[in-house]
Structure 1
Amino acid sequence: MIRGMNRRGFLLAAGATAAGAALATTTTQGRARAAGAYRVPVEDVRHTRTWMAWPDSTSIWGGRLSGVQADIALIARTIAKYEPVVLCANAGSVSRARTMCGPTVTVIGSIPVDDCWMRDSGPVFRTDGYGGLDAVGLNFNGWGNKQAHARDALVAERIAAYTGVPFTSADLVGEGGAIEQDGAGTLMATRSSLVNRNRNPGMSERQLETAMCDAYGASKVIWFDGVYGQDITDDHVDATSRFLAPGEALVQMPLSTDTDAYAKDARQQYAVLSAATTAAGRPMDVMRLQGPDYNRIRSTNRDFLASYANFYLCNGAVISAHFGDTRADEAARATLTRLYPDRVVEQLNIDRLGTGGGGIHCVTQQQPTA
């Protein structure tokens, strides 16, 4: 889970409060998916490519920029062993990005970016089951206008145009890391990220459910309370809970001795999912992924994100992180190997990126095969 007050150095000073302790509810929109309608597939489907973005702003990263670039390049090169990677860079940074990423990664300078968080700024691709592909934009606003986003606000539409697929804007403001989908009608998200006036002022939870379901081709939302104001994302779900398949989810659990807001949030997410059903009415099968001991990881940065759950699936591989807690790192690898026996599990040291409060899933966006 994300620790500290500031995920990427741009969080406005504010009182940080965890959301209410009551267990979140699940709700179902009473709509059946029409044959041939578009929906966002679960992430283990085959991909055409992975989209990424190249950071080059010293105003955001300061003296950490070169290290973060090295981590982005490592992630891109690793994914490129399994599927094509297209990385968007500002024109003045294309040469450096190509040098650091190497010849297996395609770097383009025609889609300018503010930062590297492609999960949040990039398009959400949808398929219709009949060979059709389109894209939805979530109207990225810099995590509630906490960071400059003039370029990143246009990334989703520009990537859709680059790939030649139809594009629509969702009827909400959010980020890809804020919503998890199982590809079969069920979503999960934190209220703190979306039912929040910094993204969606004046919108009720019910209105947001409708907008989310319309955008993702879903019919049910499982809500968690989340954590307000302690990181720039307001507690993205993909750092803690992930869908593995319809009816199957995974939650990264804290140590039993952890008592901070994020530990309480993770335990609540596990409890909510364990009591939830899918859009089809099936009970959820919820698995635990043990998180590391923050006293044993390499980084001492208070904003560091040590999330194994923030892994990325690409064709034939699971790209995850290791953090220096050897026992927890090895246990996470074993869990991911058991969950994905037909994929190679690659664990990377991305500690420089982690000091910005993000992980591998945060900087990638999959384009599924239609």
Structure 2
Amino acid sequence: MKTQYDGDRAGISRRTLLTRTGAAAAALVAAPVLGGVQPARAAGSWRVPGEETPHKRTWMAWPSSSTIWGSSLSLIQADIAKLARTIATYEPVIMCADGPTAAARAGTICGPTVTVISSIPVSDCWMRDTGPLFRVDGTGGLDSFGLNFNAWGENATSFYGIPASAYDKDRTVAQQVAAYAGASFVRADVVGEGGGVEYDGDGTLMATESCWVNSNRNPGRTRDQIEAELLSRFGASKMIWLPGVTGKDVTDGHIDGTARYIKPGVVMVQLAGAVRPDVWTANAQAIHDVLVNSTDARGRQLQVLTIEGPDTLPRIPAGKQKQFLSSYMNWAVTDQAVITTQFGDTTKDEAAKAAIEAAYGRPVIQLDLDNLYGNGGGGAHCVTMQEPNS
């Protein structure tokens, strides 16, 4: 068991596709593309590189809170461990666990290929949203910033009744991971999550307005102000604002379940399969329609690839299917492979695998992560954060 008890070193259901009881109807927030074509970034300037570029390692967090997970905790832990072991086949994985007891369990379940540390306290497993965004400057420099995680606009409390204090440790994860990695750290002047923004590493961002221009995260901030801050932090020059869905899931419509960058100039969109509620079907189509008419920061017309979600979820009880995050898009990219999921719809699973492999030119590993995608409502991307080679 590769476990480090280095405490002296510096340093739920997350998403539901069911309508909340008493919640307002979801709103499709259609937004125009902002920003014109601008010069490419200057050589040596700081930027968050695309996820397809080489990694030093992947960061994850071990769930150990019964307050958050209740009776589902062991099932979620099993899926997190399966994913961590798979990623560790391709690149190093550091798993942050909340103290020695949690670290010991994580090490036992994850096995010797995953490095478990107990010096960075964590509340839950959503490292994409709680961890730092690492930047490089092309000359060997590494720094980072955080997006001031506030439990998805405190939606974890308003949706599920989980006390806000249950996420207190996750509010400081970003700076502690950065310190462990030896990267300087600053806090951004906006509130949000890493799963709420996609970046190509070449000057262009895309995000849903519903996540960012939202009073539960950035009250009093205009879209232009939020855009300017994100562009500055990511080292980008153009934002593509996409339609979003408000009030239907705890994230208010994170982009990483629907549209992802493959590489600069190329994006992939998942059009909804038969099991997705109508609001998400309409939103996916609206996102697609914006992107096919978009150019990036370098003036390239985006190439928009598409896949379709599953039409059946044979392993999931009918009453739970509308809660299920049936997204192939929420993959984790490693240096040598892409790790995603399969849902038991053989035709759609195989088609998605073939399309993602063709897009990346890398093998695609499909795992059964039903508990994470079902009880957790998040996926492989949601629970990982890459640290790039500097």
Class of the TM-score when normalised by the shorter of the 2 chains: over 0.9
Return 5+ residue gaps in structure 1 as ranges.
none
Q: CA 1:210 to 1:12, structure 2 compared with 1: closer, same or farther past 3 Å? A: farther
Say which of 136, 142, 160 aligns to 2:145: 136
CA distance in 1, matches of 2:21, 2:142: 38
Q: Which amino acid letter does the alignment assign opposite residue 218 of structure 1?
A: A
Identity of matched residues, %: 51
Match of 1:70 in 2: 78
How far off its partner does 1:319 sit? 0.3
Match of 1:194 in 2: 212
Establish whether residue 299 from structure 1 lines up as the match of residue 321 from structure 2: no
Match of 1:58 in 2: 66
For each residue in 1:251-285, what CA deviation from the matched residue of structure 2 results, as whole angstroms up to 9, or x when unmatched? 00114796611111100110000000001111110
How far off its partner does 1:63 sit? 1.1
Q: Which amino acid letter does the alignment assign opposite residue 351 of structure 1?
A: D
SS of 1:275's partner is coil
Match of 1:110 in 2: 119
Match of 2:359 in 1: 339
Q: CA 1:359 to 1:189, structure 2 compared with 1: closer, same or farther past 3 Å? A: same
Q: Which amino acid letter does the alignment assign opposite residue 358 of structure 1?
A: G
SS of 2:323's partner is coil
CA distance in 1, matches of 2:36, 2:188: 19
SS of 1:281's partner is coil
**2:37–2:296 contact (8 Å) kept in structure 1:** no
CA distance in 1, matches of 2:262, 2:306: 12
Q: Which amino acid letter does the alignment assign opposite residue 167 of structure 1?
A: F
Q: Which amino acid letter does the alignment assign opposite residue 24 of structure 1?
A: P
Establish whether residue 369 from structure 1 lines up as the match of residue 351 from structure 2: no
Establish whether residue 281 from structure 1 lines up as the match of residue 299 from structure 2: yes
How far off its partner does 1:18 sit? 1.8
Match of 1:19 in 2: 28
Q: CA 1:3 to 1:262, structure 2 compared with 1: closer, same or farther past 3 Å? A: farther
CA distance in 1, matches of 2:27, 2:148: 25
For each residue in 1:82-125, what CA deviation from the matched residue of structure 2 results, as whole angstroms up to 9, or x when unmatched? 10000000113111000000000000000011110000000001
CA distance in 2, matches of 1:195, 1:31: 26
Establish whether residue 326 from structure 1 lines up as the match of residue 346 from structure 2: yes
Match of 1:46 in 2: 54
Say which of 7, 12, 18 aligns to 1:5: 18
Q: CA 1:152 to 1:48, structure 2 compared with 1: closer, same or farther past 3 Å? A: same
For each residue in 1:182-209, what CA deviation from the matched residue of structure 2 results, as whole angstroms up to 9, or x when unmatched? 1111000001111100000000000011
Match of 1:349 in 2: 368
For each residue in 1:314-338, what CA deviation from the matched residue of structure 2 results, as whole angstroms up to 9, or x when unmatched? 0101101001111111111111121
Q: CA 1:351 to 1:256, structure 2 compared with 1: closer, same or farther past 3 Å? A: closer
How far off its partner does 1:3 sit? 5.7
CA distance in 1, matches of 2:134, 2:270: 26
For each residue in 1:185-244, what CA deviation from the matched residue of structure 2 results, as whole angstroms up to 9, or x when unmatched? 100000111110000000000001101101100011111120001100000000000011
How far off its partner does 1:79 sit? 0.3
Q: Which amino acid letter does the alignment assign opposite residue 138 of structure 2?
A: G
SS of 2:35's partner is strand
**2:132–2:175 contact (8 Å) kept in structure 1:** yes
Establish whether residue 222 from structure 1 lines up as the match of residue 231 from structure 2: no
Q: CA 1:77 to 1:17, structure 2 compared with 1: closer, same or farther past 3 Å? A: same
**1:29–1:209 contact (8 Å) kept in structure 2:** no
Match of 1:156 in 2: 174
Q: Number of matched residues?
A: 362
CA distance in 1, matches of 2:43, 2:270: 35
How far off its partner does 1:31 sit? 7.4
Q: Which amino acid letter does the alignment assign opposite residue 86 of structure 2?
A: T
Match of 2:98 in 1: 90
CA distance in 2, matches of 1:206, 1:189: 13
Match of 1:310 in 2: 330
SS of 1:125's partner is strand
How far off its partner does 1:29 sit? 8.6
Q: CA 1:279 to 1:263, structure 2 compared with 1: closer, same or farther past 3 Å? A: same
Establish whether residue 359 from structure 1 lines up as the match of residue 359 from structure 2: no
CA distance in 2, matches of 1:112, 1:276: 41
301-310 or 65-74, which moves further after superposition?
301-310
CA distance in 2, matches of 1:297, 1:186: 38
**2:92–2:114 contact (8 Å) kept in structure 1:** yes
SS of 1:27's partner is coil
**1:55–1:116 contact (8 Å) kept in structure 2:** yes
CA distance in 2, matches of 1:24, 1:308: 26
Q: Which amino acid letter does the alignment assign opposite residue 171 of structure 2?
A: A
**2:16–2:250 contact (8 Å) kept in structure 1:** no
Q: Which amino acid letter does the alignment assign opposite residue 112 of structure 2?
A: P
Q: Which amino acid letter does the alignment assign opposite residue 224 of structure 2?
A: R
Q: CA 1:129 to 1:136, structure 2 compared with 1: closer, same or farther past 3 Å? A: same
**2:60–2:94 contact (8 Å) kept in structure 1:** yes
Match of 1:261 in 2: 279
Q: Which amino acid letter does the alignment assign opposite residue 174 of structure 1?
A: G
SS of 1:134's partner is strand
